[in-house]
Amino acid sequence: MLGLNRKDSGLFLLVICLTALAPFLLNPFPEGSELAQFNAGYPDLMQRFMIFGIFAIGFNILFGLTGYLSFGHAAFLGVGSYAGVWMMKLLTVNVVPAIIMSVIVAGLFSLIVGFISLRRSGIYFSILTLAFAQMSFALAYSVLTPITNGETGLQLSLNDPRILGISQTVDGSIPAANFFGIEMRDSLELAMGGWLFTFNAGYYLAAIVMLISFYIAIRIFRSPFGMMLRAVKSNQQRMSYTGLNTRPYALTAFVISGMYAGLAGGLMVAMDPLAGAERMYWTASGEVVLMTILGGAGTLLGPIIGASAIKYFENIFSKINDTVLHGWFSFMPDGLQDFVVAIIHPFIGKGWHLTLGLMFMLVVIFLPGGLMEGINRLRIWFGKRINGRQQTPDHAPATSS
């Protein structure tokens, strides 16, 4: 299908099904039940799954394939966001020009940063990208305030020109971001029994863009170009000895991943038309590194899983508080209940970063391949057990999806 082999087509179809049915899958618990707070099927969070999925897929094309660890990728996302908001201010609130412009601007910016940073590798490359990102952040906060609106963040306003659209609607409010008339915040709600499913226009736009970027990523992974990037990772020196200049390949990968980041920034703006400098801060760059590693660098599905996992924890874990915990452990005797709650307390609510950090450390220590490696190991383990029962020689299915 579409030039993919059978296994990749299967994977792609799986991802299509998952994203299309996400509003159902992420809302497994009925509305109003104890567990309803674990539901992730609300538009805002689902959009974020997709957007950060794109960001992580792009980062993975650079880090997973070439092994260059960039610590400044959020700068491209931030630059893309600013470009997107400006398109919405100047042209129209239709999201298409905003997204396209985000990708272009982020691509150009990453071309410059990549051209300079890729002169070095290893930790120096990380520091260079970090330096560029921090510079963009600092400048966006201070000198570039006319463009970025400094600390307030760039927003739409009533007296923007919007030459292709309207400055303000008839009732004098800012027009809503739309895709040829479909407003991003439009949702179709479907109540079935105790369940409430929300189908959000913005989510589906983001999902389609994510699927396209995922498809492109598969094609890159399977292409000769992707092979070349893996060769850069495994032994750059040997590549140079064979008379090959590796830098153009690495630079292309860098620009592609920068454009992915810009795309994510553009989508972010499409869902919520504002952009702030804090998106470029280095912790934001660190976050995408966490996502990719957590999911599994160098795998196709890993970054999406990692991004979704982190965003899920960020939104759901941080909502659990002591009252909820007391509710869960109410079956215990009082003293024990307080004790258990006191133990769990630092890991939830505002302390969810602690859980994230611990999880991340455990993954790096024990599962260098990320959650995907965990899944594969489980698969092999189950495969062995089944094979053992059937008295067949065990052959571990070598999987690398």
List 267, 268, 356, 367, residue binding another protein (CB under 8 A): 356
Nearer to another protein, 105 or 128 (CB): 128
Bridge partners of 190, per DSSP, are 197
For residues 335 and 347, what is the distance between their CA atoms, to the nearest angstrom? 20
> How many other CB atoms sit within 10 Å of the CB of residue 73?
33
Least CB distance to another protein at residue 382 (A):
28
Q: Are 149 and 81 in contact (CB under 8 A)?
A: no
Which of 285, 239, 340 is CA-nearest to residue 131? 285
Our finding on whether 227 is near another protein (CB under 8 A) is no
Nearer to another protein, 145 or 315 (CB): 145
Distances (CA, A) of 257 to 108, 125, 187, 370: 12, 15, 31, 20
For residues 193 and 260, what is the distance between their CA atoms, to the nearest angstrom? 40
Burial call 176-206: b when 16+ CB within 10 Å, e when fewer: ebbbeeeebeebeeeeeeebbbbbbbbbbbb
For residues 283 and 301, what is the distance between their CA atoms, to the nearest angstrom? 23
Our finding on whether 150 is near another protein (CB under 8 A) is no
List 319, 353, 379, 385, residue binding another protein (CB under 8 A): 353
Our finding on whether 127 is near another protein (CB under 8 A) is yes
Binding-residue pattern over the window 358 to 387 for another protein, x denoting contact by CB under 8 A: x-xx--xx--x-------------------
Our finding on whether 344 is near another protein (CB under 8 A) is no
List 122, 248, 388, 397, residue binding another protein (CB under 8 A): 122
SS3 395: coil
Question: What residue type is assigned to position 75 of the chain?
Answer: A
* Token pair belonging to 161: 């020109």
Our finding on whether 130 is near another protein (CB under 8 A) is yes
For residues 71 and 135, what is the distance between their CA atoms, to the nearest angstrom? 13
Q: Which segment (37-45, 86-94, 128-136, 179-187) binds another protein by CB under 8 A?
A: 128-136
Our finding on whether 299 is near another protein (CB under 8 A) is no
Q: Which segment (84-92, 182-190, 223-231, 352-360) binds another protein by CB under 8 A?
A: 352-360
Task: Calculate the dihedral angle through the C-alpha atoms of 279, 50, 155, 81, rounding to the nearest 10 degrees.
Answer: 50
Our finding on whether 395 is near another protein (CB under 8 A) is no
Nearer to another protein, 52 or 197 (CB): 52
Bridge partners of 290, per DSSP, are none
List 21, 25, 343, 354, residue binding another protein (CB under 8 A): 354
Our finding on whether 397 is near another protein (CB under 8 A) is no
SS3 152: helix
List 36, 139, 239, 380, residue binding another protein (CB under 8 A): 139
Least CB distance to another protein at residue 319 (A):
17
Least CB distance to another protein at residue 63 (A):
8
Interface residues toward another protein, by CB under 8 A = 67, 69, 116, 119-124, 126-128, 130-132, 134-135, 138-139, 141-144, 282-283, 286, 289, 293, 346, 350-351, 353-354, 356-358, 360-361, 364-365, 368
